[in-house]
Structure 1
């Protein structure tokens, strides 16, 4: 890879940096490893700190409509405290653990349109510069994949995926945003539900599956949202009839207009709270990948290919930084 010059705070002729992530996709709660490769500039410098930011393009709703911004959802110092000589090369290996709520960016190799990145920041003599940005690919955990596979087998179609700024009431959500996977109903539910939004909130011990249904109105009633929360274990990913399980969730959600109870499957429980703030939105930039059937994610339509999402990440983040509209989140 070509080393990327730091021409901002560190000045022309300063050191350059290239962060290389190890191959393959990461998973929520799993390790992310790689190397930060430095090359000295026109003079010796003291590298005070090397920091990696996990960043995401997140949607927010306000009075003026929807907007998008960059959110830092984790920040880890991976090195520093050494001298980098003129024109010298230095490599700093790293390994960190992704937050359990890290969004999923792909399913069965198909990009979902969610944009995550790893941004490298160098601190030299008190000056900081964001010198490198790399795309972060995240595959689902086994239990997440099992749930989505069941939805696909039951005839639910994938509509879009996006990241929403805010929190879901009644949950132990840790990140300042959550992922919504929007699915369209099969024929048996199409008369009562226009779409559902599925959110995974994983922890080391298991995962909450939050399902919100946009229910159609009847002759004497308006449409409304219904929300349930179900808790599953990571250990049950391969030993559960997920088609039956997921179908039971959906029957509860549509059969009970209050949608405020569950029957205890896998220790399932529910949230009496709706999403805090603004909880529904349309797909954001690059966030529509239309497909259907087995495993939810199958084909891509309209000529959109995964490479377009890959090419978009740099432009999306850089444009946000130029506007100075970055939002910080997560642990510092």
Structure 2
């Protein structure tokens, strides 16, 4: 009886751990994992096992900004089952990252982008053990071309974050409830009339949409958007940026 009481408040109860084959992924990429559930000191009924793809988003309000966790996708791994004391149960799983999963491996010091997988077991009448696994989301080739194009045009990436909300243009719309934003400044201000460029990104399987906000010193803010094929070359991307950013 004493052991069951301890397990009911999360002491000596079941635990869960997600083991990824590779934590370096691209948006929209398939991944494989093994979810390991270990029984505690007594048998327990687990009413469900879930996996969630998470990121941290910035929320802007009249009283200032704050960050909160945001769910990009969820998977139901298992329905109700009982795990015995000391039992180890391995559950294989294959999933696919949301195509709008934010990039985290970026050449910027002020990088506020985080992505992780969170695993939880819903144990009846117990504190839910959980497991968090950080993902390294790599830039796609076309995003690398975008970053290189901006650098070659005299701009430096100084901040990256994930904003709450949807991007909505005549050509595309985001779907995940958040979007990634890259902030660039000219390396040498000089006579450059553009003080800052914010680029928001919406990724799809075959193409990448970009929304640019240009902060001009004398003409106010300007907006433009365009779409790049994911197989576009570096020279093609640079040509598009030179034609649009003036």
Give the TM-score band, short-chain normalised. Answer: 0.7 to 0.9
How far the C-alpha of 1:23 sits from its partner, in A, is: 2.5
How far the C-alpha of 1:189 sits from its partner, in A, is: 8.1
How far the C-alpha of 1:126 sits from its partner, in A, is: 7.1
Distance of 1:140 and 1:159 partners within structure 2 = 16
1:247-281 superposed Cα distances (whole Å, 9 cap, x missing partner): 21213xxxxxxxxxxxxxxxxxxxxxxxxxxxxxx
Distance of 1:156 and 1:239 partners within structure 2 = 16
Q: Is 1:225 aligned to 2:246, yes or no? A: no
1:243: which partner in 2?
A: 238
CA gap 1:93/1:229 in 2 versus in 1, 3 angstroms: same
What is the RMSD of the two structures over their aligned residues, measured on CA atoms?
A: 2.6
Where in structure 1 are there 5+ consecutive unaligned residues? 1-6, 218-222, 252-332
Query: Could you state the TM-score of these two structures normalised by the residue count of structure 2?
Result: 0.87
Indicate conservation of the 8 Å contact 2:108/2:159, yes or no. Answer: no
Indicate conservation of the 8 Å contact 2:200/2:212, yes or no. Answer: yes
Distance of 2:48 and 2:109 partners within structure 1 = 36
Distance of 1:80 and 1:29 partners within structure 2 = 26
2:166: which partner in 1?
A: 167
Q: Is 1:202 aligned to 2:203, yes or no? A: yes
CA gap 1:110/1:130 in 2 versus in 1, 3 angstroms: farther
Distance of 2:60 and 2:7 partners within structure 1 = 32
- 1:126-165 map, 5 Å: 129-165=128-164
Indicate conservation of the 8 Å contact 2:53/2:74, yes or no. Answer: yes
Indicate conservation of the 8 Å contact 1:10/1:124, yes or no. Answer: no
Distance of 1:111 and 1:61 partners within structure 2 = 18
CA gap 1:247/1:173 in 2 versus in 1, 3 angstroms: same
1:134-184 superposed Cα distances (whole Å, 9 cap, x missing partner): 212101122112211221222210111011112223231101111111111
Query: Greater share of strand residues, 1 or 2?
Result: 2
How far the C-alpha of 1:206 sits from its partner, in A, is: 1.1
Indicate conservation of the 8 Å contact 1:47/1:81, yes or no. Answer: yes
Indicate conservation of the 8 Å contact 2:206/2:230, yes or no. Answer: yes
1:118: which partner in 2?
A: 117
1:12: which partner in 2?
A: 11
Aligned residues: 239
Where in structure 2 are there 5+ consecutive unaligned residues? 1-5
Indicate conservation of the 8 Å contact 2:108/2:157, yes or no. Answer: no
How far the C-alpha of 1:70 sits from its partner, in A, is: 1.1
Query: Could you state the TM-score of these two structures normalised by the residue count of structure 1?
Result: 0.65
